[in-house]
Amino acid sequence: MASTYGTLFRVATWGESHGGGIGVVVDGCPPRLPLSVEDIQRDLDRRRPGQSRLTTQRQEGDEAEILSGVFEGRTLGSPIAVLVRNADARPEAYEHLKDVYRPSHADFTYDAKYGARNWQGGGRASARETVGRVAAGAIARRLLADAAGIEVLAWVSRVHTIGSTVDSGFVTLEQVEADPSRCPDPDAAAAMTFAIEDARRNGDSLGGIVTCVARNVPVGLGEPVFDRLEADLAKGMLSLPAVKGFDIGAGFDAVAMTGLEHNDPFVPGADGPTTASNRSGGVQGGISNGADVLFRVAFKPTATISSPQETVDTDNNPVTLEASGRHDPCVLPRAVPMVESMALLTLADHWLRQQATDVLGD
């Protein structure tokens, strides 16, 4: 069940970088939701490699096929299976990695855990695995939009030391997609692009931060005590490749505030209490409070670099690794739809759970 996520909106992903394909089964999507392959393709196209000069040059169309669960344009309530074939797989390009453990990759830990490993392009540990998540997230996006008007949007807010200025309440998808860096602050975007290209030239790589907002989230999503909304978001984000940190609202900055500085005062709103500030990031006590859900995800620099590195082989002997596989010098631009997908899956699950909670009259 390690590749299964969610309680009611439940997804099971499968596939390796260079096997027969990548896919996902979504079990628990409500019936009668309008859904087409285009709904899925739109998000897959934002994730696929080769979409700009900032990303890996592996060429994959990543064309989705819906195999089940949709009939005459609407969901049936039965499992929705989506398949994406691997097209530009070049296992032979990884032959030299067969007996080497790349630093800060999963080669060694997979070998140690499983005693078996698909060394072609990272196998299951490849970021290509996220195709299934993004496809499922696109279905969740459609559900959340149609059923509740919830909108999820992420963007690159930092690359290495380059920050940005973005108003999380008003930034749009068009602004995010306007630049290959997926940073909606044009000045910062230009600097990030330069830094990423510079890192690639230097055989190095960069990390960064993706910020994500969910707007129009109704009050009441999240299930204390263990399944708090922020707990499930944190799990979803830390389950993504290369993620090393998560915080919500004021997050790590809250540490240096006092209670008087941090508390969000309630004020009367048109439809009930609302908060004058949003240092809580839209959740209080594990439950959404109606404000924007706002969080940050920290990505480490890509482990694959083209500079030589010291490491060991599978016989525990020291070797020097000269990497040559196709890779992203900075995963941030392509990480944006991945972050959105985990947010969408988490919110769809909690929205459904709330439908099974709020069932009795007053």
Q: Which is nearer to its own copies, 44 or 287 (CB)?
A: 287
174/317 with CB nearer its own copies? 317
Which is nearer to its own copies, 174 or 362 (by Cβ)? 362
The structure tokens listed for 61 are 């169309």
**DSSP letter string over 30-45?**
PTT-B--HHHHHHHHH
Cβ–Cβ < 8 Å for 267, 276: yes
CA distance linking residue 345 with residue 325, whole number of Å: 31
Of 173 and 309, which has the nearer Cβ to its own copies?
309
Contacts 24+ apart (CB under 8 A), 354-357: 354/218, 354/220, 354/221, 356/8, 357/220, 357/223
- In the complex with its own copies, the residue whose CB is nearer, 171 or 352, is 352
User: Smallest gap, in angstroms, from Cβ of residue 49 to its own copies?
Assistant: 18
Distance CA 168, CA 286 (A): 21
Distance of CA 289 to the CA centre of its chain: 23
55 or 302: CB nearest its own copies: 302
Exposure b/e, 219-228, CB count within 10 A at least 16 = b: bebbbeeebb
Least distance in angstroms from the C-beta of 18 to its own copies: 9
**Shortest separation between residue 174's beta carbon and its own copies, angstroms:** 26
Rounded to whole angstroms, how far apart are CA atoms 322 and 330? Answer: 19
At closest approach, how far in Å is the CB of 46 from its own copies?
Answer: 20
From the CB of 236, what's the least distance to its own copies, in Å? 8
Among 192, 286, 35, 321, CA closest to 184: 192
Q: Which DSSP letter does residue 13 get?
A: E
The residues facing 287 across adjacent strands are 284
Measured in whole angstroms, the distance separating CA 199 from the mean position of its chain's CA atoms is: 23
- Residue 172 vs 324, nearer CB to its own copies: 324
Q: How far is the CB of 92 from its own copies (least distance, A)?
A: 15
Bridge partners (DSSP) of residue 215 are 151
Minimum Å distance from CB 181 to its own copies?
15
Q: Min. distance of Cβ 131 from its own copies in angstroms?
A: 12
168 or 309: whose CB is closer to its own copies?
A: 309
